[in-house]
Structure 1
Amino acid sequence: MKTIRPALLVLVALFASPVAAENWPSWRGPENQGISSETNVPVEWGPEKNIAWRLPLPGAAGSTPVVWGDNIFLTSIAGDDLVLLCIDTKGKEKWRRKLGSGNRNVRGDEGNSAAPSPSTDGKHVWVFFSNGSLACFDFDGKEIWQFDVQERYGKFDIQFGLTSTPVLHGDKLYLQLIHSGGAKVVALDKATGKEAWAVARPSDARMECEHSYASPIVYDGEEAKFLLTHGADYSIAYDLETGEELWRVGGLHPPGRYDVTLRFVSSPVAKDGMVVVPSAKRGITVAVKTTSKGDITEKRDNYFWTFEITPDVPSPLIVGDYVYLCRENGNLVVLEKETGKELYEERTNRNRHRASPVYANGKIYLTDRDGLVTVVEEGPEFKILAQNDLGEPIAASPVFSNGRIYLRTFDALWAIGE
């Protein structure tokens, strides 16, 4: 048998196996962490630079698209209808499916019933709307199953609509239904929509604090695996297979008077044994151990640190040795991951920030509500590399796939890149 030299093997691998494009299967990316492995994404763009295409959309929404191969999925309103769109990476609509009617706009221009984002595993796409419509489709647009979550699990009692995005992991789809009508956590068989398990989610929260606009995440590390839900004054971790509560952390209100308006919007992030837990408005941010057990609210051995500021709406980001908090007012806060020591708080601009920060190729992308994307250099020193203005309102987070950035404004879907 002829021996192939190692150097030749390297050359064969280089020429036979081009770098695969990264899919973006959920609103926070491949690992629910807001991190892209893409290295050739643009830093600068404008009306005549790095715009591949712009596709007008049938209505506004704050949901983040997902991408798999040459398929882009996103939710939208179309008049009063709630629809799922499939768009190819050339900017052409492939199909749309209506999942119901009766859109509800909330807080003026803040959101509507198409706020939750889709999720995909490369064969099917799952979609949820704030009216309770939950469905699964294949990539050709064929409905696999659909049901009304409110009919199965009770009417939603939440001021601005249930905007939580279900999280997909393995063979299950997980929902957190945190509101005043009886909070529950649910695991469904993703293939059939049948219940795998459902548990009540007790808390001592009251009034508007019972409401949550955050989304659950799944952490799948070597040392721990769990579903993490966030709302009603607590982050609570559950066993993925049984729904057993593993741990919870509370005490997230600022000291002093209990504020009944502190509902959670920002979602936690978990990476490398650490969970960064945001709160709301004038609340705190805490970093706790993924291996925690029981109620750790007063068990300081389970904490890495506590920080006096929370991002409120955008979700935290963990990259390397640093934690990034993008505040609603546009300030970027960078902390040492291990200690929580503040390295800086600097202004990007003074516009509202609703989208969550995303990392790619040594850079942090911060998207404000008016469509201005600020690109900041990763690391302990503040440096703005670019500011790119689309001139359209946006609440969705950036999506990175195959050398492009996809931005879903209230008016259109943009493909940024060559």
Structure 2
Amino acid sequence: MKTILPTLLTLLALLTSPALADNWPSWRGPSNQGISNEINLPVEWSKDKNVAWRLAMPGAAGATPIVWEDHIFVTSVDGDDLVLLCIGTDGEEKWRRKLSSGNREVRGDEGNSAAPSPSTDGKYVWAFFTNGSLGCFDFDGKEIWQFDVEERYGDFDIAFGMTSTPVLHGDKLYLQLIHSGGAKVVALDKATGKEAWAVARKSDARQECEHSYASPIVYDGPEAKFLLTHGADYSIAYDLETGEEIWRVGGLHPPGRYDVTLRFVSSPVAKDGMVIVPSAKRGITAAVKTTGKGDITDKKEDYFWTFEVTPDVPSPLIVGDYVYLCRENGNLIALEKESGKQIYEERTNRIRHRASPVYADGKIYLTGRDGIVTVVQAGPEFKIISQNEIGEAIAASPVLSNGRIYLRTFDALWAIGE
């Protein structure tokens, strides 16, 4: 008994250890897919029910937080300053660092300069703002490096600021700078901020279509590896080490006409050899293979399917045998992954949806701008499990980590759960 009991206690401790919980190190989670392996997450809450804590933020922002073990990082405005905050999972602020000043409000309540999300590798954290301020800090808040991206790569000519979140992979930090002033794709050494490579991003897009508010992703599968950038009428894949273009797909406008205001906001998602490529407004959604070469726009053999509706702002989600598109109006569309056949389109919360859907433990979380989070059962049958309201506006996507759901509203950071 003396030997069995410690063994059982050790096993129980391991099974319940926070170290086994998923970190959420980037905007779309552990694999840039909006998916967490967490189980037993909250499905019901309100402003005074199932809330571990609420911490007021220094200003409004749409940036999604990130989590690594007991550290939460989030960018925000603080008056006119642009800041990175480190918050403990106990709800206490550890530190904040100013990267620059000059906040810019855009389109009324649509956003400001704290739109991109941070990224972390568990040792350092990188923060970017729409005015080009980019910096790297350690977990104690010590600055490792910092520079102005506009000074190095040219002024941004884009209507609502460079909202793209840089993506971290291996020893590099990747940026897509897609705008009218000379679009570029850049890889930086994450430890020093020095340029690893930079290439011009060629496109025949014109007018506002030259602007992109989407973010790049990295796909690292057994059959293909690439950086995927999204905007200016194309999704374009680049070699991670050299910046050489591998493939591109266009044709994302509505058939028969060119919309000069069709600027991408929704970002692609890639999983299991498939890339779901959204567009905007009345454009299409395309499912293409990860193994293409060259311009695959008119190569039918490189497509799985196309669908006549796109989510516009929220990014797509691939879960099991289904692809989910959350439309701006809150309608949820489920498609068969292999065929693109529509299973359903159902109403959730009829309000603007800016946040991207996330998935864990058989459930999809959809977040409206009014702060209502609708929890939907994943699978071919549409079912609303719950709708949860905290009474504060949200543009950031939910974060699933450490057995909790973290919601960054315009007013505060909320920890939902025990």
TM-score bin, normalised by smaller chain: over 0.9
Match of residue 196 from structure 2: 196
Say yes or no: does 1:14 pair with 2:11.
Answer: yes
Say yes or no: does 1:328 pair with 2:328.
Answer: yes
Q: Note the 1:6-85 alignment, pairs <5 A.
A: 14-15=11-12, 17-19=14-16, 20-85=20-85
Match of residue 356 from structure 1: 356
- Give the Cα separation in 1 of the matches to 2:340 and 2:8: 45
Say yes or no: does 1:210 pair with 2:210.
Answer: yes
- Give the Cα separation in 1 of the matches to 2:280 and 2:174: 23
- Give the Cα separation in 1 of the matches to 2:96 and 2:163: 21
For residue 166 of structure 2, what is the amino acid of its counterpart? P
- Give the Cα separation in 2 of the matches to 1:220 and 1:348: 33
Local SS of the residue matching 2:99: strand
Match of residue 257 from structure 2: 257
Match of residue 236 from structure 1: 236
- Give the Cα separation in 2 of the matches to 1:275 and 1:262: 20
- Give the Cα separation in 2 of the matches to 1:14 and 1:338: 40
Q: 1:46 to 1:226 in 2, by over 3 A?
A: same
2:285/2:308 contact within 8 Å kept: yes
- Give the Cα separation in 1 of the matches to 2:158 and 2:273: 33
- Give the Cα separation in 2 of the matches to 1:169 and 1:17: 29
For residue 82 of structure 2, what is the amino acid of its counterpart? L
Once the 2 structures are TM-superposed, how far is the Cα of residue 13 of structure 1 from its aligned partner? 7.5
- Give the Cα separation in 2 of the matches to 1:16 and 1:261: 55
For residue 88 of structure 1, what is the amino acid of its counterpart? G
Local SS of the residue matching 2:214: coil
Match of residue 174 from structure 1: 174
2:47/2:391 contact within 8 Å kept: no
2:74/2:85 contact within 8 Å kept: yes
For residue 14 of structure 1, what is the amino acid of its counterpart? L
Q: 1:76 to 1:332 in 2, by over 3 A?
A: same
- Give the Cα separation in 2 of the matches to 1:417 and 1:16: 20
Local SS of the residue matching 2:15: coil
Query: Structure 2: 5+ residue runs without aligned partners?
Result: none
Local SS of the residue matching 1:365: strand
Once the 2 structures are TM-superposed, how far is the Cα of residue 18 of structure 1 from its aligned partner? 2.7
Match of residue 138 from structure 2: 138
Task: List per-residue Cα deviations over 1:80-101 (Å, max 9, x = no partner).
Answer: 0000000001111100000110
Aligned residues: 413
- Give the Cα separation in 1 of the matches to 2:376 and 2:388: 12
Q: Note the 1:218-367 alignment, pairs <5 A.
A: 218-367=218-367
- Give the Cα separation in 1 of the matches to 2:389 and 2:286: 33
Once the 2 structures are TM-superposed, how far is the Cα of residue 48 of structure 1 from its aligned partner? 3.0
- Give the Cα separation in 1 of the matches to 2:232 and 2:163: 15
Local SS of the residue matching 1:36: coil
For residue 295 of structure 2, what is the amino acid of its counterpart? D
- Give the Cα separation in 2 of the matches to 1:256 and 1:77: 42
Match of residue 158 from structure 2: 158
Match of residue 378 from structure 1: 378
- Give the Cα separation in 2 of the matches to 1:282 and 1:16: 52
State TM-score, norm by structure 1. 0.97
- Give the Cα separation in 1 of the matches to 2:386 and 2:146: 43
Once the 2 structures are TM-superposed, how far is the Cα of residue 47 of structure 1 from its aligned partner? 2.8
State TM-score, norm by structure 2. 0.97
For residue 194 of structure 2, what is the amino acid of its counterpart? K
Local SS of the residue matching 1:226: strand
Task: List per-residue Cα deviations over 1:19-57 (Å, max 9, x = no partner).
Answer: 512110001000000001000210000133210000000
Local SS of the residue matching 2:11: helix
Local SS of the residue matching 1:353: coil
- Give the Cα separation in 1 of the matches to 2:111 and 2:51: 26
RMSD: 1.5
For residue 17 of structure 1, what is the amino acid of its counterpart? L
Match of residue 402 from structure 2: 402
- Give the Cα separation in 1 of the matches to 2:13 and 2:81: 47
Once the 2 structures are TM-superposed, how far is the Cα of residue 11 of structure 1 from its aligned partner? 5.9
Task: List per-residue Cα deviations over 1:370-400 (Å, max 9, x = no partner).
Answer: 1000000000111000000011010000001
For residue 216 of structure 2, what is the amino acid of its counterpart? P
Query: Structure 1: 5+ residue runs without aligned partners?
Result: none
